[in-house]
Structures are given as C-alpha cells and as structure tokens.
A and B are shown apart, each in its own frame.
Chain A
Amino acid sequence: MIDKIKELASKKFDSFEIVEIKTESTPVSYSAGKLKSVNATEKHGFALRAIKDGKIAFSSTTKPEDAEGLVNQTLAAIPYSPKAEIEFAGETGALPNPSIEDDKIKKLGTEEMIEMGGILVEKLKPLHEKGKIGGGVSKDSSTMRIVTSNGFDKTYSKDEMGMGAAIGVVDGENMLSCWNSIDGTTYNDDTNSIIKRVSTFFNWGMKNVPVKSGKYKVLFTPNAVGDIIGILKASWMGTTVYKKVSPWKDKVGQKIADEKLTIYDDGTIDGLGVSSPFDCEGIPSQKTAIIEKGVLKGFIADKVTAKRLGIDPTGNGFKRGGGFDSSNNIDATPITASSNNVILPGTKKSDDILAGMDEGILVDSLLGTMMGNALSGMLSGNIGLGFHVKDGKVLGRVKDAMLTFNLFAAIQDSILEISSDVENITSWAGNCLNPWMLFDNGVLATK
C-alpha cells in the first residue's frame, strides 16, 4: 500500500510523508476474581501528511488498499489546512537504538499470561473475603514505518508487556480500592511487586482516621508524583511557550526549583514504553534536560513548534489522540508530547523517608488534579487514596479531604526528600520514571 500511496501522492503534492502503524495486542483479563476474557486486537492504518500550495494537510485511513481514498481526502483538505511551516524528514545519520524489542515478550503465550493473571488474583484474594479483584496481563507488538518524499524511510518495532491488579471493597458507603501495575518493553513477570504494593495499601486503608484541616508534610508515591508531573509539564511544552502562556517562557537559565530537582524528557532509555529511535516525524529521539539541579534548561517541541520558537526539534512530535493515551494513533497529527518523564532519584530509600516522617499525609491517588489550570501550577485534588502518618507509622486512611499545593512555590521551597527508588508509572501525565517525593506545607482541607 505504501508504494501505491507514494505513486499517487507524488503526482498530486509538492512533498509528502506516509506513516504506517501496525499493532497486535493480546490482553488477558480477570474480573471478580475469575478469568474473564482473552482478546486479540489488530490495528493497521496509514496516515498521509502532504504539502501543496504552501499548505499542509493530513488524513488517515484504516481501510486496506484504499490508497486512492487517502490521497483524495488529503487533497480535498489542502485549501482549509494550516500553512506549511516545516519540511518532512530527509536522509538521516545514525539514530539512537534503545532496547525496545524483546523476544521473550514476542514468545509469551496466552497460556502463560492466563497463569500470571491467575497468580495476581489468587494472591490478593486472602486480603478480604468480600474483595472484588480484577487484573490482567497484556502484550503488544507494534511496527512503525515513516516514508517521506525527501528520502527518509525507516522502521522500528516495539514489544510491550504490562500487568496489573486491583482490589476493591465496599463496606456500607465506604469504598476502598487499591491497584498497581507495571509496564515496559522488557519481559517482566514480577507479580510479587504488584501484590506487595496492593496488599500494603489495602491493609492500611481498611481503617479510616479523622484528620484535621491544616498544613502537613506530604509524601507522594510515584503514582501521585504523576499528578505533579502532569501539572508542571504543561509549562515545559514548547506549545505553551510559543503561545506565551507558559509561566516559564522567559526563565531558561534561571533557578526555578530546589537543587534536588532534576527532570529530563528522555526517549532513549532502554525498556521504557515511550522510547524509540525516532519520533512520529522522523526526528531522532533524545534526552532533553528540562530542569537540572533546580535550573530551567529547556522545553520540548515537535517540528512546527520548534521552528516557531527558533530551537531544534527535540524528538517529541508524537501522534497522540485524545485522552491520556501515550501510544501513537494513526489518526492523529503529530503534536508536542512527552516521551518518558524522568525525575532524577535522590539518596534516601522511600521506606526510610516514610519511617522518618513525624506527622504527615502519604498520598497515592488524587481526584480532580487534571481539571485545574495546569499553567497556574495549582495542584488541587480530593484524596482518593491517602493515609495519615505519625511517627513514621501509618495510622489509617484519610478520606473526604482536599489537598492543595502551589507547585511553583513548592518545588522551590518545600521539597524535603526525593527517594532513591523509582517506579515506572503511566498516568494522565504520560509515561514517567518517578521517585517518591516528600514536600512540606501541603494544605489539607477536611470536612
């Protein structure tokens, strides 16, 4: 099909870029403590970006052999399309080569996945006789190919494996649910880490404790640090800098955070979900420093945003659709988006940080954090799963409480600790390698 699109497109456009994505996924899922389904999904589609009359149009199709339809759709959109500000990728030198393929994932059979899911579910069952347990194991294999009229023709393949489990219990109007998952591009059958985390939080959460409104130290788990990243990253997107709405737009080189804080956007790390040799525009993946020892170093940008900002593209042009999906969708145009968000770990183990807390809140999930204006730096959420900690001990679950931080101030003045252990989490913030983080002065409002 690519040859046919090439043939037709070269007659109609000044230049063009064809993207082909093929993905096969096999998810096995458990529900209510029992095996529920084994699915097989296959996605295969083509996207065309093309330049004519100074405009750049985009169109996609999942209909096999419909090269003509795709080219005609694209041509029809030309008059109403954005001005062409970029050129498509040309011949390129060496590309980074992160390890994102794994034969063990390729060979992983349904039978083995059913077994792993079974272990997760069975080991969580003893936690509570009325617990509702769900979980699953999935594997994905995908191939992406980009071909341009400027001589770029590259392909990469990726294997991904993920598993997760959750337990929920309803006791009157008290609902508790705890979950954990692992994802990556290397085979990982560590069911124990999931079981351990879920069990610990579940046991802590079975008892509700009253907490007074006020200022507290707050220890964010790697999952909750995802909320912090989700809000902060709005300010390091090249797009918000270009639109002049990022409060960091003129602050490169300035100290905006505590020295302990270093954040990278890095698409070249072995084994992480959003690593690849190149982005969806054929730009080599790279490690981009955002904040180094508290100093703002730079932003991330797709090709058009980079051009507008007068910087080099950072390999962050990804075909992301709606929602919080961090995989590439054939029907989306490339936009500036994070690869893997990485916070540099500190020196103290998370267990020791928790043990050293005199009094505070441990928070694993927050509701509503993605609804505020991220560019204001305000983190404000109803605590979904959080605990009251006193003298290093977890006393019980904190409920009906709203936690608020002004993150721009908090990352300067209130970072107490960053853990040495990190976890790979996926959230609305995308794919992150997050440590645990202890902050001072969190504002808690309770009933």
Chain B
Amino acid sequence: MKIDVKEYLTGKSCDYIEIRLEDSIRTEIQIAGKDIEKSITKREYGGNVRACHNGGWSFVSFNSLDDLENRVNLAITQAKEIGNRLGGKTQLAPAEAIVDDVLLEAKTDLREINMKKKMDTLLGYNDILLSISPEIKTTSVTYRDAYTELLFANSEGTKITQQKMDMGCNLYAIANKDGQTKYGGTSVGSSNDWADLLGLEEKLKERGELAVKLLTAPLPKSGKYTVILDPNLAGTFIHEAFGHLSEGDNVYENPELAKVMTMGRQFGRPLLNVYDTGRDEGVRGYLKYDDEGVPTEKTWLIREGKLSGRLHSRETAGKMGERATGSARAINYKHPPIPRMRNTCIQKGDTKLDDMIADIKDGILCMSVFGGQTNGEMFTFKSGYAYRIKDGKKTELLSGPMLQGNVFDTLGNITAIGDDYIDPDSAGGCGKGGQMPLPTTHGSPSITIQDVIVSGD
C-alpha cells in the first residue's frame, strides 16, 4: 500500500489521530464428508481513522480510500464533540515514534502456495479420515489463511508498514453410532510456515481411531475431582479464565476490579508463572507491532503466583499509569484496536506427567478442548476426551466431561506444573467485543488442579 498519509495527519488541532489501512487476501476452505462445502477467496480492502480529543474518541471506517481527507476531518469533529462535552484529558501511555517497513520472512510463504496445493493437501487428509472406520460418518475440515499488508501512521510520527501471513486448520473425523457423536482430530496454525500443515497423516489416523473408541467410552460420574489438564486444555483455561481478566480495558475504568487485580496479589501457588507474548515467531499470536504501532513484548501476568502485569492499549495503560504492552489489536480495519492477548502461556514447570498422575488417587486426566467460556469470575470448559486416574495410574478412556469452577479458587488450586510445554495452534481464534476470530495462541504444559467440578453422567 503506497499511500502518503502524512499530509492528513499534520497540522490538525486534535490531541491524537491515527490512520490504519489494510489490503488482505483471504482463503477459506471447508470440507465435510465427501463434499467441498466452501472454497472461497475474499479481498478485504479498506481503512479507518481514529481520533481522540480531551478524552473523547471517534472511529471512522470505510472501504474507499478516495476521500481520506474528509474521513480524517469527520473523526476529528466527532472526537472534539465528545471531548468538549467531557472536558476530559487525553491520556495515552507514551510510545516511541517508529518508522519501519516489516517484510514477511516466511519459511514457506503462503503467497507461493496456490489453491490446487491447498486443496490437494486437505482432500488427502480428508480421505485418510474417512477411510479409518465405517463408524466415521463424516468429517469436518476447516482451513483459513490470510496474506495482509498493513499501513499504520499516527500524528506522533509513527509510520509502519507490515506484511503478515496467517494460516490455521482444523481436521476432524466425526464418528457416529446409536445416537452418539464423537470427534477426533488435530489442529495446526502458523504465522510463518505454510508447511506446518504437512505431515499430519499418522496423527490423523490415530485421532480418528480415538473418535471411534470414544463412541463406547462412558462419561465420568459428576462430582469434584483432582484433574490434570493436558497442554491444550490448560492453555485454553489460562486464556479464557485469566487472560481476559488481564486485559486492561476490563480493569481501567473499574476500580473495584482493579482492587481484585492489584499487582503483587497472590493468585496461585509460587509454582505458577503466566505470561503473554507477541514475540514467539511462527505462532499465530506472533506480531512485531500491535495496531497502535507499539512494539510487542513478553508481558509477565503472574510471577511465582503473584499478579505482575496486564495487557494494555495506550489508553488503558495511560489511565492506569502503567506501560503500553503492545497488546492493542484489531481484527481488521473495520474495528478499533482493544487490549487483546497474543500468545498466552503457563510457563513450563519441572514435573513429569507420569509423576503428576502418580500423585493422584482418584482423578481425571482431561485431554483436548471443545470450547470454553467465562464471565470473569466463573468458567466452563468442554474437554474432548479423558482418562480416569485410579491409584496413581492412567486407566479407562472416558468421554470428555464439562469442567467448571471459580477462576480465583481454581488458580489457587493448581498444584503441579508439567515439563511438557507446547503451544498448539488451530484455525480458531479469540472473540471479544464483536471482533472474532483474532489469531491468538496459547501454550502450556500439563497442569494438576484440585477440586474441579466435573459434570459428566
């Protein structure tokens, strides 16, 4: 995008103005059973102007870039209208003025992969899933990719262009018998290597067979258990249950929540360390600059059990007297940036999974995840499948139960952290404030949690 935006940003009587332009080509493929359900290409082209004056904001978005001057003026007029009413102060945490052009440096560049290659790969996997067993009645293959060029500039002198790629894929076999439906499969994703999608044949076979076995697997009896969450589920747990609570916009205008979320407060046992980072190259949550032009960083959220940071936009940081963390993200040009996660992780511990299992007399090892939801204080998750743990041994295969609990109690009840850290990606993404799916990642080792409410049979 070669557009000179400087003239629109200089000489305006407004506290802060930014322009963000985007040109993105996206592919979406969906296969179900024997049918290609969807194979679409879409071009997302457009931009926005955001202005802030005396604490009042205006966001103006559009598709045609012809009339940029008037869009800027509309944003300024509206921001001033509110700002003057509020008589407030524009409080943005400082950010260095950066001029940078970020080119995509990919291991396997998405732009070199044509539709035929994508489709052949996915159809090949789909055939494998369908041929596993007659009980595999259908499949669900979802693939998404995007190549995006972004231009960001603000009235403080920052001007950044970025090239980005994003790829995610979920591959599932769906087994069906006597009214029971079970899923088995895997997911991948990347921000720098399309070839992460390759070589999944063996894993898919194994997971497809698991879906068939799950048809006859019982649910655990409902009750309170000591559970081990596998890295996938533990990562989702920390994202949903704690990551969102760490987002500055949930806290900055809410003094009571700010009190709960006071730095230094003990949330977990000393073994618990949690961070969110934009710096893990290759994962979908990787980004060099956020959508306010702030360089990303590794932000510690919990260190040794104590609250030690949160995820900020320049405004939420400015209002709380904290540092901008490079966490202001927008799903596309149609939305303003808000504090979001990047790659949210529980730091690797030093306990072997076998030892974690050996420590449990009667519990459940919960594997994989089918979704999660939280309202800040309570959470609910659906696990994909599970194993009973009896007298320190992993035993019977179980259907995945729902897990629920209170976020604060549960963090405090994490009693062991494994050494088997991974950061799995998928075609999914995080949703917040109508912006979904944003490419985020979560990483974790296995974790042991005591007293989790499990609803099964």
Pairs A–B under 8 Å by Cβ, sample size 6: A40-B75, A58-B38, A64-B64, A130-B256, A173-B260, A331-B42
Kindly list chain A residues whose C-beta atoms are within 8 Å of the C-beta of B56.
35-38
Segment among A86-94, A189-197, A378-386 that sits at the interface with chain B: A378-386
Q: Is the CB of B453 within 8 A of A39?
A: no
Kindly list chain B residues whose C-beta atoms are within 8 Å of the C-beta of A45.
63
Kindly list chain B residues whose C-beta atoms are within 8 Å of the C-beta of A322.
436-437
Interface size class of A (residues with CB under 8 A): 35 or more
Kindly list chain A residues whose C-beta atoms are within 8 Å of the C-beta of B40.
58-60, 77, 331, 333
> Which B residues from 256 to 280 make CB contacts under 8 A with A?
256-257, 259-260
> Which A residues from 167 to 194 make CB contacts under 8 A with B?
168-175, 177
Q: Is the CB of A170 within 8 A of B256?
A: yes
CA distance A325 to B372 in the complex (A): 19
Q: Judge if B406 is at the interface, Cβ distance under 8 Å.
A: yes
Q: Is the CB of A69 within 8 A of B382?
A: no
Kindly list chain A residues whose C-beta atoms are within 8 Å of the C-beta of B431.
323
Shortest beta-carbon distance, A308 to chain B, in Å? 10
> Which B residues from 74 to 110 make CB contacts under 8 A with A?
74-75, 78-79, 81-82, 85-86, 88
Shortest beta-carbon distance, A200 to chain B, in Å? 20
Q: Judge if B155 is at the interface, Cβ distance under 8 Å.
A: no
Q: Is the CB of B41 within 8 A of A40?
A: no
Known A38-B58, A371-B370; further 10 A-B contacts with Cβ < 8 A: A31-B253, A36-B57, A44-B63, A59-B42, A77-B115, A82-B37, A331-B44, A367-B380, A368-B402, A447-B453
Q: Judge if B216 is at the interface, Cβ distance under 8 Å.
A: no
CA distance A243 to B138 in the complex (A): 9
- The chain B residue sitting closest to A76, CB to CB, is B115
Kindly list chain B residues whose C-beta atoms are within 8 Å of the C-beta of A58.
38-40
CA distance A32 to B44 in the complex (A): 33
Kindly list chain A residues whose C-beta atoms are within 8 Å of the C-beta of B46.
62
Q: Judge if B128 is at the interface, Cβ distance under 8 Å.
A: no
Q: Judge if B395 is at the interface, Cβ distance under 8 Å.
A: no
Q: Judge if B422 is at the interface, Cβ distance under 8 Å.
A: no
CB < 8 Å neighbour of A32 from B179, B253, B371: B253
Q: Judge if B376 is at the interface, Cβ distance under 8 Å.
A: yes
Kindly list chain A residues whose C-beta atoms are within 8 Å of the C-beta of B254.
32, 132, 168, 170
CA distance A58 to B36 in the complex (A): 13
Q: Judge if A96 is at the interface, Cβ distance under 8 Å.
A: no
Interface membership of chain B positions 368-407, coded 1 if the CB is closer than 8 angstroms to chain A and 0 otherwise: 0011111111111110000000000000000000101010
Number of interface residues of B (CB under 8 A): 77
Q: Is the CB of A44 within 8 A of B64?
A: yes
Q: Is the CB of B222 within 8 A of A400?
A: no
Q: Judge if B2 is at the interface, Cβ distance under 8 Å.
A: no
Q: Judge if B35 is at the interface, Cβ distance under 8 Å.
A: yes
CA distance A447 to B409 in the complex (A): 12
CA distance A243 to B181 in the complex (A): 13
Kindly list chain A residues whose C-beta atoms are within 8 Å of the C-beta of B224.
447
Kindly list chain B residues whose C-beta atoms are within 8 Å of the C-beta of A169.
256
- The chain B residue sitting closest to A134, CB to CB, is B253
CA distance A38 to B181 in the complex (A): 47
Chain B residues at the A interface, C-beta cutoff of 8 Å: 23, 26, 32-33, 35-46, 56-64, 66, 74-75, 78-79, 81-82, 85-86, 88, 115-116, 119, 137-138, 176, 179, 181, 222, 224, 253-257, 259-260, 334, 336, 370-382, 402, 404, 406, 408, 431, 434, 436-437, 453, 455
Kindly list chain A residues whose C-beta atoms are within 8 Å of the C-beta of B62.
41-42
Q: Judge if A127 is at the interface, Cβ distance under 8 Å.
A: no
Chain A residues at the B interface, C-beta cutoff of 8 Å: 31-32, 34-45, 57-64, 66, 69-70, 73-74, 76-77, 79-82, 110, 114, 130, 132, 168-175, 177, 243-245, 247, 322-323, 325, 331, 333, 367-368, 370-373, 375-376, 380-382, 384, 399-400, 402, 404, 445, 447
Kindly list chain B residues whose C-beta atoms are within 8 Å of the C-beta of A32.
253-254
CA distance A134 to B86 in the complex (A): 16
CB < 8 Å neighbour of A73 from B41, B370, B377: B41
**Max count, chain A CB within 10 A of own CB: residue among B42, B58, B431:** B42
CA distance A175 to B336 in the complex (A): 27
CA distance A376 to B260 in the complex (A): 39
CB < 8 Å neighbour of B375 from A36, A40, A177: A177
CA distance A36 to B256 in the complex (A): 20
Shortest beta-carbon distance, A431 to chain B, in Å? 16
Kindly list chain A residues whose C-beta atoms are within 8 Å of the C-beta of B35.
82
- The chain A residue sitting closest to B380, CB to CB, is A368
Kindly list chain A residues whose C-beta atoms are within 8 Å of the C-beta of B58.
37-40
Kindly list chain A residues whose C-beta atoms are within 8 Å of the C-beta of B61.
39-43
